[in-house]
């Protein structure tokens, strides 16, 4: 499972689900939280473009959606866009808004996936959702049933993957360096009740993804889940690195250029 590589004919679908509630305006590492996320997104798109270069042209190896949620849901890119289109347009500026209706954002994401999953070929990598939040949701409806339904959705490469990034200064992380952090395992107490719940929502990290993260200099251990502590900008960047790992199982830049 999770062996398919992203190519121009078997694109990886990445959905960024972003909490843009008011608390995202709080400071973090000399910036606001939302600015740190914006910078991580820019870095990630740049990495996707570099991995997609072929003969000095951007091959559409990735398809990307960015869904922001607060009181309402915002389709930032106006649907799912190929990486070459995003490279030309850039990423719109994110602004902190009001409350945190996670369930509403999940419902929108699930509907998008339901519309897309029938078009995903057997050679494509499994879709990946990167969810970023900085606080407990204020939804009236529990998001867990929708999350379970999403995680049951599958393509030939495997079930849809959900990674969570929790931006909080309450988390228990004994290592300051993101590159030496070993990762969370199912059942860990990460120092925050809502963070623990997000941990339980997270997919297990595929070994193929972990191998690529090791090649990129990270020390994530086997048997961990796709949950990341946003305690400082470097950890936020590590979480977003997951989107560039999806379907990128070649041996370095030469593999990407020669596909």
For 4-51, write each residue's pLDDT tens digit.
Answer: 999 888 999 999 999 998 888 888 888 888 898 888 899 899 888 988
For the chain, how many structural domains are there in total?
A: 1
| 96 compared with 134, residue with greater pLDDT | 134
| Domain assignment of residue 1, yes or no | no
Residues 219-244: tens digit of each pLDDT: 999 999 999 998 888 998 999 888 88
| Domain assignment of residue 63, yes or no | yes
Cα→Cα distances 168→19, 20, 95, 229, 233, Å: 13, 14, 18, 7, 11
| Domain assignment of residue 18, yes or no | yes
Helix ranges restricted to H, the chain: 33-52, 83-89, 102-116, 144-152, 193-201, 207-215, 233-245, 253-258
| Domain assignment of residue 6, yes or no | no
- Tokens of residue 103, six digits: 């369930």
| Domain assignment of residue 5, yes or no | no
Q: Residue 242 maps to which CATH number? A: 3.40.50.410
- The C-alpha torsion from 4 through 1 and 184 to 110, rounded to 10°, is 80
Sequence-distant (6+) residues with CB within 8 A of 174 are: none
pLDDT band at 97 (very low <50, low <70, confident <90, very high): confident
Cα→Cα distances 153→14, 16, 17, 63, 160, Å: 15, 17, 17, 18, 6
* Average pLDDT over the chain, rounded to an integer: 88
| Domain assignment of residue 166, yes or no | yes
Q: pLDDT at residue 254 above 50?
A: no
Q: Supply the DSSP string of 215-242, one letter for each residue.
A: HTT--PPTT-BSEEE-SSHHHHHHHHHH
Q: Give the domain extent around 243.
A: 12-258
| Domain assignment of residue 87, yes or no | yes
């Amino acid at each position: 499972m999770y062996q398919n590589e992203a190519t121009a004919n078997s694109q990886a679908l990445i959905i960024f689900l972003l909490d843009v509630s008011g608390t995202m305006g709080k400071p973090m590492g000399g910036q606001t939280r939302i600015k740190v996320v914006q910078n991580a997104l820019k870095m990630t798109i740049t990495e996707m473009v570099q991995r997609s270069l072929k003969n000095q042209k951007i091959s559409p190896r990735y398809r990307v959606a960015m869904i922001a949620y607060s009181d309402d849901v915002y389709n930032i890119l106006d649907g799912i866009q190929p990486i070459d289109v995003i490279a030309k347009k850039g990423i719109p500026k994110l602004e902190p808004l009001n409350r945190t209706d996670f369930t509403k954002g999940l419902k929108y994401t699930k509907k998008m996936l339901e519309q897309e999953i029938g078009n995903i070929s057997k050679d494509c990598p499994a879709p990946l959702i990167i969810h970023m939040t900085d606080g407990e949701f204020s939804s009236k409806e529990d998001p867990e049933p929708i999350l379970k339904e999403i995680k049951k959705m599958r393509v030939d490469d495997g079930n849809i993957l959900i990674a969570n990034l929790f931006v909080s200064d309450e988390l228990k992380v004994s290592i300051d360096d993101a590159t030496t952090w070993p990762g969370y395992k199912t059942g860990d107490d990460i120092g925050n009740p809502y963070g623990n719940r997000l941990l339980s929502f997270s997919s297990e990290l595929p070994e193929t993804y972990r191998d690529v993260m090791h090649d990129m200099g990270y020390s994530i251990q086997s048997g961990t889940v796709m949950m990341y502590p946003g305690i400082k900008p470097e950890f936020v960047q590590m979480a977003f690195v997951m989107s560039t790992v999806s379907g990128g199982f070649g041996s370095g830049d030469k593999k990407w250029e020669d596909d």
